[in-house]
Structure 1
Amino acid sequence: MEEEVYRNATVDKQALKALSQRSDAKGLVQLGGHLGLLLVSGSTVLLSEQALVYAAALFAHGVALVFLFAPLHECIHRTAFRSRWLNNLVAQVCGLILALPAGYFRAFHFQHHRFTQDPGQDPELAVSPPESLAGYVLHVSGLPYWWERSRTILHHTLGRVGENFIVGRQRSEILREARSHLAIYLILLVGSLWAGSSILLDLWVLPVLLGQPLLRLFLMAEHSGCPQTADMLINSRTTETNGALQWLCWNMNRHGAHHAYPALPFRALPAADVLLAKHQTMTRSRGYGAVQRDILRRIQGSAK
C-alpha cells in the first residue's frame, strides 16, 4: 500500500517524505534483534530443568513468537525493508509460523486500511466485538483466532474463497498459499510423530497458544472504542507504552500515524507521531491497561 490515506495541508509533506525512506540494513537490525530474542527464549525452553523455569520460558518464547505479527504486518506493507524480495520472504515465514498466510493477510489488511471502521466494508468488523465478560475472556484467549485460521486455511485449500476482498489473480495465489501451508503443517506433524520428538510442541505449538492472549490484548487497542469516522487519526488509536513493548511491536503502538500514512516504515512512526500530534487531533491512550479498562467498562455498561 503505497498511497497516502490521510491528507492535511498543515502537515509537512517534505518531512513525511524524508521519513518514508526504507532500508534493508535497518530492517535487518530490527529483525535480527527479534530473532535473537527468540533464540534466547527458545534455548531456555530446551535447557530448563525446573518446571517453573520451563513454564516461564515457554510463555516468554510464545510472546516473542506471536509478536512476529509485527514484522509480518510491516512486510505485507513492504516497508520493513527496501528490497521487495526480502519483504516477501520474511512475510511468508512469519505467516507460516502464525497460520496467517501473507497473501491472504495482505488482501484482508489492505481492505481494512481502505475502509477502516466502516461497518459494511472493514473486514475487521465482520466479527462483533465482545459484548459480555465471558465473550471478552473467550476473545482474549485466542481460541476464536485459531478456529478461524484453521477453518479459513482448510476452506481455501478446498477452493472455497468467498471473501469479497479477494479478487482477480489474488484468488489463485491464496489457494496455492493455503495448500502449501497445510502441506507443510502435515509434513511437520508426521515427521514429529515419526521421530517421536516434542521439539515442535515445545518451541512452537505450546508457546503460540500461551502467547496469543497478549497479542489479542495488543490488537484490541488499535481500534476498539474509536469513533467510526473516515479520519484515520481518530478512528485508529495511538497507545503510549514502555520501550520494550514498543520495540517488540515494531512501533505499531503508533497506530494513528501508521493508518494515516501506511507507506511510512516502522522505524519512522515515533517521529511521524510527534509531527502529526503538533497539528492534528488524535485518539491516544496512556497504556494498554487503560485501554482494556475502558473496553471492560463499556462491556459492563452495555450489560446493564
Structure 2
Amino acid sequence: MSNSSILPPLKPQLIIPAAELKELNQRSNWKGSLQLLAHLTVMVASGIVWGTHLAWAQWWIALPAGVIYGFSLASMFATLHETSHRTAFANNQVNDAVAWFAGIFCFYNSTFYRRYHKWHHRYTQLPGQDPELEDPKPTNWREYLWEVSGIPWWIGKVKGHIRIALGNLENCPCIPEEARPEVIRSIRLQILAYVLFIGISITLQQPWFLTYWLIPLALGQPILRAILLAEHTGCTHDENPLTNTRTTYTIWPIRLLMWNMSYHAEHHLYASIPFHALAKAHEKIKENLTKIEPGYITVNRKIIDGFTPAH
C-alpha cells in the first residue's frame, strides 16, 4: 500500500457548504448530558453486576459483565476526546470539567491530552510531526498481540504520568512553555486522586481499587486498542484527510460508548462537528472518502493480513 495518496486534497469547505456546516456545528448541553448519562448508566449497571457476581464467584456472569464494565471505563477516553475538543457541551467550562474527570476513569490526563491531540489533528499522519506516530504500528503477530493487550499502553501511561508529575516535559513540543505548569499540576492532582482511592480501599480493607478500576480497565483495554488501531493504520502518510483517516461502521453499543468516534474521517475533516452530528456529516461526504470499512473486526483482519511474512 502506498504511503501517500494519488488523490489531490479536497478542501473540506468544498464538500459541505458553510451554511450546512454551521448547522452541523451546533453544540448542545442537552445532547451532551444525555450521552454522558447513557455512558455512565452502562458503567454503573455493568459495574454492579460485575462486583456482585465476582463476590459470589459466579464467573460465567462476572466475566462478561467485567468486560462491558471495563470497556465502559476504557471508552471514557472517547468522552475525554470529545470534551477535549469542547464539542460535547455548549459550555466550555463543563467540557473541561467532564474531560478531566473522564481522564480519571480511563487513565488519561485531559490537560495534557488537549494539547497533544491538537498536534495530532494539525499534523495527522505526517511522520516526524504527528505525535501518534511515535508509537509504531504493529508489523507482525507478536507486535499486534502486544499492542492489543494494552500492556505497552499501561507502561507508557505510568511512566508518562510519573515523568510529568516530576516536572519533566522534555521532548513534548506539543506542550507550549506557558501551559506546562498547568499540565504538571493537573497530572499531580490526578495521581493524588488515585492515591486517595487506594488509601480508602486499604483503610476499609476492601480491594475496590483493584476490582472496580485496575482489573476491569485492563479487561476493557484490548477492545479500545483494536478500535484505535483502526483509525489510521494502513492509511496514507500525507496531508489528505480523505485518505489518511478511516471511518468504520460498527454496532450501536460501540457507537454509544465511543461517542461516534467511528466516524473518524468526518471528525478529522471537521473537528468542530459534535459527536451527535457526525452521522449526518457522514451522509454528506461518504462518496468522497476512500477509507470506509464495515466493522472493526474487518479492519483488524486487514491489518493482520498486511503483515510482512517472517523470513
TM-score of the superposed pair, with normalisation by structure 1: 0.94
- CA distance in 2 between counterparts of 1:175 and 1:200 reads 24
SS of structure 1 residue aligned to 2:248: strand
| Aligned position for 1:134 | 142
* Alpha-carbon offset, residue 261 of structure 1: 0.4
Task: Work out which of the residue numbers 66, 80, 88 in structure 2 matches 1:72.
Answer: 80
Q: Secondary structure at the match of 1:232?
A: coil
Determine if contact 1:6/1:232 at 8 Å carries over to the other structure: no
Mapped partners of 1:234, 1:54: distance in 2: 41
- Say which of 214, 221, 227 aligns to 1:218: 227
Whole-angstrom CA distance in 2 between matches of 1:7 and 1:84: 25
Please point out which of 38, 41, 44 is paired with 1:36. Answer: 41
Matched with 1:154 is: 162
In structure 1, what residue type is equivalent to 2:176? V
Task: Kindly provide the amino acid, as one letter, of the partner of residue 12 in structure 1.
Answer: P
Instruction: Give the aligned residue type for 1:134.
Output: R
Kindly indicate whether the alpha-carbon contact (under 8 Å) linking 1:66 and 1:208 is maintained by their aligned counterparts in 2. yes
Residue 303 of structure 1 is matched in structure 2 by 310
Q: Deviations over 1:2-55 (max 9, x none)?
A: xxx953424322111101000101110011011111111011122222122122
The Cα of 1:292 is off from its aligned counterpart by 0.5
**Cα RMSD for the two superposed structures:** 1.4
2:109/2:190 contact within 8 Å kept: yes
SS at match of 2:211: helix
Does residue 177 of structure 1 match 2:182?
A: no
Aligned ranges 1:54-133 → 2 under 5 Å: 54-133=62-141
2:209 matched to which residue of 1? 200
What SS class does the counterpart of residue 234 from structure 1 fall into? coil
**Conserved? CA contact 1:6–1:231, under 8 Å:** no
Per the TM alignment, residue 126 of structure 1 is displaced from its structure 2 partner at its CA by 0.6
Gaps of 5+ in 2: 1-9
Contact 1:58–1:202 under 8 Å retained in 2: no
Cα displacement (A) at 1:130: 1.2
Where does residue 18 of structure 2 map in the other structure?
A: 13
Shift of 1:234: 1.2
Q: What is the CA–CA distance in structure 1 between the aligned matches of 2:98 and 2:293, rounded to whole Å?
A: 31
Q: Between Structure 1 and Structure 2, how many residues are aligned?
A: 298
**What is the identity, as a one-letter code, of the residue corresponding to 1:84?**
N
Q: In 1, Cα distance between the equivalents of 2:191 and 2:292?
A: 40
Moved more, 188-197 or 79-88: 188-197
Instruction: Report the Cα distance in structure 2 between the residues aligned to 1:273 and 1:13, rounded to whole angstroms.
Output: 16
Instruction: Report if the CA contact (8 A) 1:257-1:272 is conserved.
Output: yes
* 1:233 counterpart SS class: coil
Cα-to-partner distance string for 1:228-285 (whole Å, 9 max, x where unaligned): 121112101001112221122111100000000000000000000111124x233111
After superposition, give the CA deviation of every residue in 1:126-182 in whole Å (9 maximum; x if it has no partner): 121112211110100001111101001101111110111111221111110111112
Greater shift after overlay, 71-80 or 59-68?
A: 59-68
Distance in 1 (CA, whole Å) between partners of 2:218 and 2:260 is: 24
Give the one of 252, 262, 273 matched to 1:253: 262
In the TM superposition, residue 287 of structure 1 has moved relative to its aligned partner by 0.9
- SS for the counterpart of 2:306 is helix
Contact 1:236 1:256 in 2 (8 A): yes
**Other structure's SS at 2:102 match:** helix
TM-score (norm. length: structure 2): 0.92
Q: Which residue of 2 aligns with 1:242?
A: 251
What's the secondary structure of 2:12's corresponding residue? coil
Partner SS state of residue 139, structure 1: helix
Deviation of the 1:191 alpha carbon: 2.3
* CA distance in structure 1 between the partners assigned to 2:253 and 2:136 by the alignment: 31
Letter in 1 for 2:271: P
Q: Measure the CA separation in 2 of the matches of 1:113 and 1:46.
A: 39
Distance 2:283 2:149 in 1: 34
Rounded Cα–Cα distance in structure 1 between residues aligned with 2:208 and 2:14: 55
Q: Give SS of 2:293's match.
A: strand
TM-superposed CA distance for 1:77, in Å, is 0.1
